[in-house]
Amino acid sequence: MTRKSLRSRGQDNMVATAIAQRKSTDQQGSAATNATKPPHTALVIDDERAIRRLLRVLLEVEGYQVCEAETGNLGLQMAASRRPDVILLDLGLPDMDGLTVLKRLREWSRTPVLILTVRDSEADKVAALDNGADDYLTKPFGGEELLARLRALRRHSPDAYEESTYVCGDLTVDIQARKVTVKDKEVHLTATEYALLHELVRHAGKVLTQQHLLRAVWGPDAEGQLQYLRVYMTYLRRKLETPNSGKLIETQPGVGYRLVAGN
């Protein structure tokens, strides 16, 4: 079956005009917001370059950082490495069906997923939602509707209910600002170090298995790479623990790790 195009050329021009108007209207407010709040990241998994290009424009105007993948395998790799806040997933991918991507993603990630596809049958929608999709939008679609649905997903995502700040002794982790301080001095963490700390903070006081942490931080193919976990736990301890704080990250031999509960 021939795939439907996202928009006609005339519709694309209308979207571009609307975007330009929105940029002009919101420029000052957006600049002030972006100066204090780190941007969310959106991962677009779609094999059509024109659609990826249009989605990039829409999402960047909304304040997202955008990364793209044109195959399912690349999309899964980028979901693990880039840690996006939301994923936009097409079902008709060249190397595997989008439902397969969704099922594999849900083995280790709770990231909100919005399905974007030409498939409009009730059976397709039910299958996607039953396999872990958070919302479903058929092509062609309106830009404002897309952005509204993404805002709704962000409001109702699991991370939206996290405590905004974790404090234990000298350590403070501001989840919303992605800022880590020890004795009121900011600590620089790599993306992987922060992802690992973030997972520990989300489950502070609970033991997380080695396999859970490997899946959450490095993806489903890393479950046997225990050395990754040991090395990065060492890095975190060196950067975060002080003589006054004592041990913040406890090792449960043969099982996993636990971040002590906050104050």
Place of tokens 């990065």: 232
Predicted pLDDT of residue 20:
53
Task: Mention every residue, 6+ apart, whose C-beta is less than 8 A from residue 62.
Answer: 147, 150
Render pLDDT for 84-132 as a digit per residue (tens, 0 to 9).
989 999 999 999 999 999 998 887 788 889 999 898 888 888 888 888 8
CA separation for the pair 249, 30 (Å, rounded): 38
DSSP assignments along 232-246, one per residue: HHHHHHHHH--TTT-
What are the structural domain ranges in the chain? 9-160, 162-259
9-160: what fold?
Rossmann fold (3.40.50)
Distances (CA, A) of 258 to 203, 205, 262: 8, 6, 12
CA separation for the pair 239, 226 (Å, rounded): 20
Strands 249-252 and 256-259: antiparallel
Specify the CATH architecture of the domain 162-259.
Orthogonal Bundle (1.10)
When pLDDT is cut at 50, 70 and 90, the band that residue 196 belongs to is very high
Q: How far is CA 211 from the centre of its chain?
A: 20
> Do the beta carbons of residue 169 and residue 241 sit within 8 Å?
no
Render pLDDT for 131-186 as a digit per residue (tens, 0 to 9).
888 888 988 889 999 998 898 887 666 554 455 788 888 889 988 778 999 988 99
Predicted pLDDT of residue 165:
82
Equal fold, 9-160 vs 162-259: no
Give the amino acid at 114. L
